[in-house]
Structure formats: C-alpha cells, structure tokens
Amino acid sequence: MLSELKQWKSKGLLRPIDFHFGAFIAQLGGDNVAVLSAVFCSEYLGAGHICLPLEQLTRGLNEKCVLMQTDIQAFCERHDLSCLLQNSEQTHARLYDSVCVGDNAPLSLEYNALYLRRYAQYEQLIADKLLHQPQILLTGDVKGQLDTLFAVDLSYIFKAWQQDKAQSLPLLCEKYLDVLPAAQLASPLDWVAIKECFEQAKVAQDLAPLHVLIAENARCDWQKVSAALALSSARCVISGGPGTGKTTTVTKLLALLLSARPDMIVKMVAPTGKAAARLSSSIRDALTTLHIDDDIKQKIPTQASTIHRLLGVKGGSNHFRFNKNQRLHLDLLLVDEASMVDLPLMAKLLMALPEHARLILLGDRDQLASVEAGAVLGDICAFIDAGYSQTKSHQLADLTGFEHLRQSGNTRSGMADNLCLLKKSYRFDQYSGIGFLGKAINQGQASPEQVLALCEKYDDLAHYENNESSLPILNKMILDGYQPYLTLLHHTSKQQTLSPKALLKAFNKFQILCAVREGDWGVQGLNQRAEKVLASAGLIDKSVEAQQLAQTWYLGRPIMITQNNYHLGLYNGDIGLCLKDEKGQLRVYFEMPDGDVADFQPSRLPSHETVFAMTVHKSQGSEFEHTLLALPQKSLPVVTRELIYTGITRAKLRLSLFADLTLMARAIKQKTLRYSRLVERLKGDSA
C-alpha cells in the first residue's frame, strides 16, 4: 500500500506531508482503510476542508486511479479496500474498529466524517461556545435609547428628492427610510399624502410628518435590529456586505452598553493588522457623527489589535499566553472581518473567552473564506435565513417597534436567534452598477449579457477583455490611477513638507486586484507592468535608489508585508510607502492600528513585496475608490463566486473589470465548498 502511495507522491498527486501522515498511521497499526483515509484526510485539510466525509473517499480514490491509469477495482482488491466500493456504512465500521480512531487516537470519526482529532475538538468547542448563552438582563428604557441612536435623518431623503423629483417615491422611501415592500405591510401606505408632503417641503425638517405617515411598523432598519439583537444576546453575529454599516452599528451599540455599565472592558480585534487599522479608523469616524455624551464617547475604544496580539503569541509558535487556563481580561470581545478567521484560530480565541463575556462577530458571509482551514463564518450564518424563534422575534419587535419581526417562522430557539443580516450598502449605492453586479454574482446569475448590460447602463462599471488589445487601456488606467499619489509625492519632496499619511491615503484610492499570483494578468505580471508604465512616465526611478541599496528600492515604492513581525508591530497584509525622511534617507512608512504613522529602515522589514497589484485575498477588509479587477485568461479552480464577489465589492465608486465574461460566468456557478460539520454541531444533531 505505502509503495503505491509513494508513487502517487512521486507523480505529484500527493503532498509529502500527506504521504508521511499515512505512513505514521501505518506504524500505529492502522489497516489499509485507515491509512488511505488518513492520507485523504490530510489532503483535504490542506485544501481548506475541516474533515473528510466518508462518501468522498471513493471519489478521491477514483480520481487518483484515473490519473495513475490504474483500475480502481483492482487497486481495492490488492489492498483489501472493497468496502470503499460498497457503501460508507461498511467503511465507517472498518474505521470505527481501527486503533488509530478514537478519543485518544490521531483520528476521530464523527458525523460520518473523518477528522484529525484536534480539528474535531476545535469544531465542537466553537459550537459549544456559541450556543452557550450567559444570561442577559436588560434594564432601563432600551427601546427609547435605540430609537434615539437610530433616529431617521431626513436630510438624506430630502437631498435625494431635490436632485430628482421624478423618481419613484416608494423606491426612495425604501432606500432611505427602510420602508418594507408592499407585500409585507400590514396595511397600505397613503402615498397621496406622502407625495403631498414631499412636494410641499422646502427644507428637510418639513418632511417631519413622514414619521406619522410612515410609522415604525411599516419600516425595518436592520442596523437597529442587529443592535437590539446584540444587546439581548451574549453571542451575536452581524453579517453584511461591504459598507452595510457594521462598525457604525457596533459603535452605537457600544455607546448603549457603556452607558449602562461604564466599567465594561471592551476589546476589539481583527485577523490582520490592516483589518485592525481599518476597524480602528471606522470606529473613530463613526464617533464623529454620534450624538452622545462626551464621557461615554471617551469610553468607547478606538484602537483594535490583531487576534494574535490579543492572545499573546509565545515565541512565534502556535501557542498563546491566553488560553483555557488563563482567560482574557474583558467583558466584551468584538471580532471584525470574521470571515477571514480560520477554524483553529477561532477555537483558540473562544477558548480564552471568559464565561461571562459577550461576543460579537462581524463579517460578510459571502466573502472569501479564510486562507487556512474552514469557513467558520459561512457555517455559522447557515441559519441566518431560518427566522427567529417566537420568544426572540417578540423581544426584537418590542425593542425596535418593527412589528413584522413577530412573523418569524422558526419554531425553536438556536443559533438563528444570535444572527442578523444587514442588507443595505452605504459604501456604494445598492442601486448602482457595482451594487447590482455584486448581487447578481452572489445569486450566480451574472451572464456575459447581464454584465455587459449593466456596464452599458451604469457609469461606475466598465468591462474590457483581458487580452492584448486591452493593454493600451490597461496602461493608461495604471498611469491615471497611480499618478496622483506620485505627483503629490514629488511635489511634497520639493517643498519638504512630506505628509506620509496623506500619501498613503492617496495611494489607496486606486488598486489593482488579481485572482492569481502568476502570469501576465496575475500579481507578478501586473506589478512589473505598473513599474514599467510609471517609470516610462518619469514618475518612479528605480535605477539610482536600487544602486544605493543593492535592492529594488525606489522613492514611491509601495510594499506589502507578507510575514508577521510582532516586535516591529508589522503584520501580513500591512501596506507601506518608501519615502525620504528629513535627512534624505529612504524609509518605509506605515499607518498603524492607532492611526499614527511609523517608519522603518528598508533593511529591517520582514518579508515583503511590491504592491501596485495584490491578490483579492489580501484586499479583504479594504476599500478603494477605483478598483481594477483582473481575472486570468483561463479557467482555474481558485476563481470562484466568492473571489469575484469579494474583488468587485472592494470598489467604492468605480470598478474596471478585465475579464473573459464567459469564463467569469462559469466561475460564479462554482460556490466554494469546504467540508465541515460545524452546522450539524450548531443544530445539536447527534454525531
């Protein structure tokens, strides 16, 4: 058996780690079914799956046999694997009797799937922590506080009406006042009176009668619902697409919680340094528009850290200072960009959570899953459309005034009672081209004809073929996109009034995103193209600085950190600019999580790369005024619905798409699948 598996490895059909794990299981006394299952279990983990469903064993074996030009039946007969060709029950029975499977063995067999044992433990721990609900006691006029913080600002709808008085009033009220669709209204609205109110209004305050004409029970502000949910649930997950106001909502929520309990210890974290910096910035921005007492405003934390920094990494290992034996010192933990958190890290974070503490997870369920194993947020949000239990739906209706919430169809409480989906985007208009395209991709319906029609209709979308004929357009777009920050750089250098923060902000207005690293339309090819275009225009000069440092350093070079360095406070995904300091020396400047700018000698930096172009994975948690998304020229498994959706929704004002639309349409039919049993555990189903 092992000799044939070694041939698979030599042909590149198995990673060395998968083969050696199989050999280890054989040394422990595992039979051929256990050895082969272990090999595939390791292989699936490497592909991002948490477990190996037993029904996938035969499929995986068949694929390998085809590639090795071996008959699967003959292979099974040689190695006593006939049970694999019959049914998973027989395979289950063989594995169940194996010395390598069990509570103290390397492998665990649960929910008709095989795990590396510690991953089964991680999964169960997450389910237990999320389902465990410390009791929450609401005091005071919570509804009144929610009404105040989530009061309707009539200035937005008044401005939109003044700009275009011919537009549909029902659509306008749905967009700005969260009016429910007609089918969900308990009684129809008086649109004649509503129209008269708009026509007579001279200033925004004149629309005040809308508060009576459109009562609370005709509206549903999901930001307000999510805040009510988080107030009344110790475990809360708020999911929403880009710009749906997750951090704005949480800032208001923190104000409510800290008003009730000023001594509450709140910690905010994100998976990467860049995401932590963005969360910090978003909270600070939200506070500027929040009308609350200054003493409460000052208590709201404005600095987030990475998860690793909060837990305290021990000597660069996978072990942390805070764990199940030494819990974190906090009362509320807020985790942003939760879709990027892999299963082991989420388990270790929740393991260190004090029993009494509240937990709020923020993220977009439709974004790319974590680079490492698992799709934790996606699995948790599998219940988000199930509806609230009767108890929870009545509680939320009482707290918000949104009576239609009482119509929930869920008959039992469970994970669904801890979830809320934000549905309206404020980053880009949900009725814009970017908004419509993102929605179509999420539904798997973006055909070439549909994409072209959207590009024709909306100014914020443009499509180009990713071929030779589009290269002049691509070159001009690169020049137009990066020229502003480089022009500002050279101007400030001459005036000796360098502002690194302003330059970083200017650089981040435009970004090239790629699905892959290699190739002309990948990160490496487009970084080289960008440098060539900008050098030809005289905006960068690589020659002089490179000679000084014997490296590829030059004034204006943008770089991304690719390896965490806890000592320097720089993390994978952080972006910096190479600038000159007061002495004329090259330094690399980064905006840190607290909003300050720090600079470093180029030679001190951890692993890094030029970042005129970056992968879509690295862009998560970011937004750019103009995003250029480049897809590869051939079909690749990495190009999925989630990747395309994530790339497109990084655009705030403008999206330029370089892609073969036929290949793209085929890719969005492929929704990423990662095998796990977290959904079953959250249901409370038996293993």
With a CB cutoff of 8 Å and minimum separation 6, the contacts of 558 are 507, 575, 576, 577, 578, 610, 611, 612
Overall average pLDDT of the 436-454 stretch: 91
Query: What pLDDT digit, counting tens, does each position of 121-170 carry?
Result: 999 999 999 998 888 888 889 999 999 999 888 998 999 899 888 888 99
Cβ atoms of residues 65 and 74 within 8 Å: no
Confidence of residue 676 (pLDDT cuts 50, 70, 90): very high
For residue 645, CA distances in Å to 367, 372, 639 come to 7, 19, 10
Burial (Cβ within 10 Å: 0-12, 13-18, ≥19) of residue 241: buried
Total residue count of the chain as it appears in this document: 687
Query: What pLDDT digit, counting tens, does each position of 337-388 carry?
Result: 999 999 999 999 999 999 999 999 999 999 888 888 889 999 999 998 888 9
For residue 570, how far is the Cα from the chain centroid? Answer: 20
Dist CA 587 CA 553 (whole Å): 10
Dist CA 664 CA 466 (whole Å): 11
Rg of the chain on CA atoms, in Å:
27
| DSSP SS3 for 105 | coil
Q: Largest alpha-carbon pair distance within the chain? A: 86
- Name the CA dihedral angle for 524, 527, 531, 536, rounded to a multiple of 10 degrees: 90
With a pLDDT cut of 90, the percent of the chain lying above it is 64
∠ CA 351-355-361 to the nearest 5 degrees? 65
- Is 546 a residue whose pLDDT tops 50? no
With a pLDDT cut of 70, the percent of the chain lying above it is 95
Residue 430 or residue 183, greater confidence: 183
**The pair of three-digit structure tokens given for residue 601, joined into one six-digit string:** 């000698």
Query: What pLDDT digit, counting tens, does each position of 386-435 carry?
Result: 889 999 999 999 999 998 888 876 667 689 999 999 987 765 555 688 98
What are the backbone dihedrals phi and psi of residue 512, each rounded to the nearest 5 degrees, phi first?
-90, 125
Overall average pLDDT of the 482-497 stretch: 78
With a CB cutoff of 8 Å and minimum separation 6, the contacts of 445 are none
| DSSP SS3 for 597 | strand
∠ CA 254-595-650 to the nearest 5 degrees? 80
What are the backbone dihedrals phi and psi of residue 155, each rounded to the nearest 5 degrees, phi first?
-65, -30
Q: Which stretches of 470-513 are DSSP H helices?
A: 471-495, 500-507
Query: What pLDDT digit, counting tens, does each position of 29-41 carry?
Result: 999 999 999 999 9
Closest to 412 in 3D by CA, of 687, 683, 226, 134: 683
Residue with tokens 């970084």: 527
Give me the DSSP letters along 311-357.
H-BSTTSS-BSSSSSS--S-SEEEE-SGGG--HHHHHHHHHTS-TT-
Give me the DSSP letters along 352-413.
TS-TT-EEEEEE-TTS---SSS--HHHHHGGGTTS---HHHHHHHHHHH--GGGGG----S-
For residue 131, CA distances in Å to 48, 324, 352, 683 come to 24, 17, 16, 9
Q: Which helix (H) or strand (E) holds 148?
A: helix 142-149
User: Which pLDDT score is estimated for 547?
Assistant: 46
Q: Could you tell me how many helices (H) and strands (E) the chain has, helices first?
A: 30, 19
With a CB cutoff of 8 Å and minimum separation 6, the contacts of 608 are 559, 560, 561, 562, 563
Cβ atoms of residues 355 and 134 within 8 Å: yes
CB atoms within 10 A of CB 303: 16
Burial (Cβ within 10 Å: 0-12, 13-18, ≥19) of residue 84: buried
- Is 544 a residue whose pLDDT tops 60? no
Which of 339-348, 360-369, 587-596, 647-656 shows the lowest mean pLDDT across its residues? 587-596
CB atoms within 10 A of CB 81: 24
Q: What mean pLDDT value characterizes the chain?
A: 90
For residue 198, how far is the Cα from the chain centroid? Answer: 39
| DSSP SS3 for 536 | helix
Overall average pLDDT of the 479-495 stretch: 84
User: Which pLDDT score is estimated for 497?
Assistant: 58
Cβ atoms of residues 388 and 405 within 8 Å: yes
Best mean pLDDT range from 96-105, 313-322, 458-467, 542-551: 458-467
Dist CA 368 CA 343 (whole Å): 14
Overall average pLDDT of the 64-82 stretch: 90
Q: Which helix (H) or strand (E) holds 57?
A: helix 55-67
Dist CA 583 CA 588 (whole Å): 14
Which of 278-292, 485-499, 627-641 shows the lowest mean pLDDT across its residues? 485-499
